[in-house]
Amino acid sequence: MSLNPSSTEELIVETHGNVAVISLNRPDRLNAISRPMLNELSRKMVEADKDPDVRCVVLTGKGRGFCSGLDLVDADGGGIGSPEERSQRRPSLFDLRDAPLTVMWRMDTPVICALNGAAAGYGMDITLLCDMRIAAGSAKMAAVTAKRNVVPESGGTWLLPRLIGWGKAAELYFRARTIGAEECLELGLVNAVVPDDQLMETAMTWAQEVADNAPLAVQTTKRMMRMGIEESYETAVDHLMVHLAGMFRSEDFKEGVSAFLERRKPNFTGH
């Protein structure tokens, strides 16, 4: 496994078999994202996506909040967007090549968000970019950027209308609404709501189910879904057939067929 399961003060990385768990770790600030945390999150997501042994990522937060957004004013009076920050070279937040949310959008490895508390601003954008979202009963999403005279700078205005439709997205953003877990479920913003003490257990169960499947099939399906958003139907089908031809020649295809005929669980290797 090439993913280094090392941790920093602000980001904890653990591996459980073929599942990587990445935890935001600034609970005293509701996991507001600092500059070092921003950069490290990008690096770890890239590492996880490149690691053939990582078949699913679970992203969560420590403490009672998932992520309150970018840390605009840190404990020392600085923070992202401070006069000191603005005086420096163009910050990586706006360098789309390396920003965590761009990295997450390009990932073929599935990402599950274990939403353990409030997600606001940048934190809400992170949740929207995850492929699946499981919310604790106490979780909530706060589309409150209009109350701060800022915008969802990391793709929220592109993602949210595609997830729940224009009208509902407009309602959340324009009214600057905060919605609880059950309303998130009704809108389709989360896949499931579970009791707080069952959140990580449920997320890990889902992640393991993903990891048990053929990684090439899962990752290619995700890539085709991502590309299909902006492709015609005919183009998407053509791309799918090209990938399918390669899969038919893979060892995992042979294993999948054998396992089906022998009525056993397949043992996929990614080859």
Note whether residue 6 is domain-resident. Answer: no
CATH classification at residue 241: 1.10.12
Hey, CA dihedral for 186, 226, 4, 153, is it positive or negative? negative
Note whether residue 136 is domain-resident. Answer: yes
Per-residue pLDDT of the chain (271 residues; tens, 9 = 90+): 667 776 778 999 999 999 999 999 999 999 999 888 888 999 999 999 999 999 999 999 999 999 999 887 664 444 555 445 544 545 444 455 567 778 899 999 999 999 999 999 999 999 999 999 999 999 999 999 898 888 887 789 999 999 999 999 999 999 999 999 999 999 999 999 999 999 999 999 999 999 999 999 999 999 999 999 989 999 999 999 999 899 999 999 999 999 999 999 999 999 9
Residue 232 structural domain: 215-262
So what's the pLDDT on residue 2?
66
Q: Are residues 219 and 206 both part of a single domain?
A: no
pTM of the model: 0.89
Q: Torsions phi, psi of 33, nearest 5?
A: -90, 120
Note whether residue 270 is domain-resident. Answer: no
Note whether residue 51 is domain-resident. Answer: yes
Q: Are residues 116 and 237 both part of a single domain?
A: no
Question: How many domains does the structure of the chain reveal?
Answer: 2
Q: Is 19 helix (H, G, I), strand (E, B) or coil?
A: strand
Q: What DSSP state is assigned to residue 62? A: S
Task: Kindly list the distances between the CA atom of residue 132 and the CA atoms of 14, 73, 253, in Å, as whole numbers in the listed order.
Answer: 19, 30, 26
Q: Are residues 254 and 192 both part of a single domain?
A: no
- Among all chains, which residue has been given the structure tokens 């609880």? 180
Alpha-carbon distance of 268 to 250, in angstroms, equals 11
Note whether residue 130 is domain-resident. Answer: yes
Provide the residue count of the chain. 271
Alpha-carbon distance of 24 to 13, in angstroms, equals 9
So what's the pLDDT on residue 151?
84
Q: Are residues 200 and 241 both part of a single domain?
A: no
Helices of type H across 21-117: 35-50, 83-86, 100-106
- Among all chains, which residue has been given the structure tokens 């043992």? 267
Q: Are residues 172 and 195 both part of a single domain?
A: yes
CATH classification at residue 203: 3.90.226.10
Note whether residue 271 is domain-resident. Answer: no
Note whether residue 219 is domain-resident. Answer: yes
Q: Is 202 helix (H, G, I), strand (E, B) or coil?
A: helix
**Contact assessment for residue 229 and residue 162, using Cβ atoms and an 8 Å cutoff:** yes
So what's the pLDDT on residue 78?
47
Q: Are residues 146 and 243 both part of a single domain?
A: no
